[in-house]
Amino acid sequence: MPSVWILTKGLMKKEIIEFKRYLFNTIGGILTVYVIFLLLFSGYKGVSGMNIDTGDTLENLVVGFVLWNFLMFSYQDVKNTITEENKRGTLEQLYMSAYPFTLLIIIKSVISMFFNFIFTGIILILTMATTKVFLNIDIISLIPLLILTGLSILGIGLMLGGLSLIFKKVGSYMQIVQFLIVGLVAVPVNRFPILRLLPGSLGASMIRRITIYGENILDFSSFEMLKLTGVGILYLTLGCIIYKICESKVMEKGILGHF
């Protein structure tokens, strides 16, 4: 098999070209997300009677919303890639490449995650400017946590991507998962430690500790970091297994390139 580095460079180049070519659409996506936040923020102010000095509640709103968007775009990438390649008629060509398609889709998703950092960063700046809440943005601490948290969500994306190979349209279930991610981001893992095994929940809690309470990655125990890494690898592995099962079913039926 050719070098994985060659594959990574090729996918990176493709992502950069598409990012620049469809920049106008990307800007529209940022504006859409920002408008949604404005609606949430307006509702929050209405509930609090315009008194937004309520401890860390507003900080949690900002962190939760931005993190939800990051995870949502991360898990959607796998399914969107498969759907787009299927529409273009290039999905079967990718399967004939020298690289396993699962490896290709994981590397592509990780690369997209880094572009998602830019997207998320812009949204974070806009939300902080709107709410006048300025969080502790420790990039060195946040990026490893975001990557490890994103791995577990990527596993969920692989599961849905496998289902999209078989059923072709799984948009309704994608919407259900979007709302489930809201719960995963907001779940109180300190009160219910077992919930730390859910995808994204432990990482979201650790990210809040950095952004709201001023901690850094060195404040976390090695056990916490190992648990976060283990959860990410566990769900990524489960996602790969389920994807391969769905892929085998599609290959048997000969409907890989059907849409």
> Considering the domain boundaries, does residue 16 fall inside one?
yes
Q: Going by C-beta distance under 8 Å and a sequence separation of 6 or more, which residues neighbour residue 127? A: 34, 37, 41, 62, 65, 66, 133
- Asked if 71 and 125 touch (Cβ cutoff 8 Å), the reply is no
Confirm whether 259 is domain-assigned: no
* Confidence (pLDDT) at 82: 82
The residue with tokens 């860390």 is 56
Does position 50 have pLDDT exceeding 60, yes or no? no
Say if 177 falls within a structural domain.
Answer: yes
For the segment 131-151, the average pLDDT, to the nearest whole number, is: 91
Whether 66 is covered by a domain: the verdict is yes
Residue 258 within any structural domain of the chain:
no
Q: Is position 214 within any domain?
A: yes
Cβ atoms of 207 and 146 closer than 8 Å: yes
> Which DSSP string do the residues of 41-107 spell out, in sequence order?
HHHHHHHTTT----TTHHHHHHHHHHHHHHHHHHHHHHHHHHHHHHHHT-HHHHHTSSS-HHHHHHH
Do 250 and 256 contact (CB within 8 A), yes or no?
yes
Residue 16, number of CB atoms within 10 A of its CB: 12
Tell me how crowded residue 58 is: count the other CB atoms within 10 A of its CB.
Answer: 18
Domain that holds residue 223: 4-253
What is the pLDDT at residue 234?
Answer: 95
- Helices assigned H by DSSP within 89-221: 91-95, 101-131, 139-167, 171-186, 201-211
User: To which residue do tokens 């500790």 refer?
Assistant: 209
100 in a structural domain: yes
Amino acid at 43: G
Q: If pLDDT is split at 50, 70 and 90, which confidence band does 52 have?
A: very low
Q: What is the pLDDT of residues 120-131, one digit of tens each?
A: 899 999 998 888
Q: Are 76 and 156 in contact (CB under 8 A)?
A: no
- pTM (2 decimals)? 0.87
Rounded Cα distance, 72 and 69, in Å = 5
Q: What percent of the chain has pLDDT over 90?
A: 29
User: Could you tell me the two tokens for 255?
Assistant: 């409907």
Question: CB of 160 within 8 A of CB of 78?
Answer: yes
* The predicted structure's pLDDT at residue 215: 92
Q: What are phi and psi of 255, to 5 degrees?
A: -120, 25
For residue 141, what pLDDT is reported? Answer: 93
- Residue 124 domain-assigned? yes
Count of domains forming the chain: 1
Q: Give the mean pLDDT of 215-241.
A: 94
The pLDDT tens digits of the residues spanning 173-191 come to 888 888 888 888 888 888 8
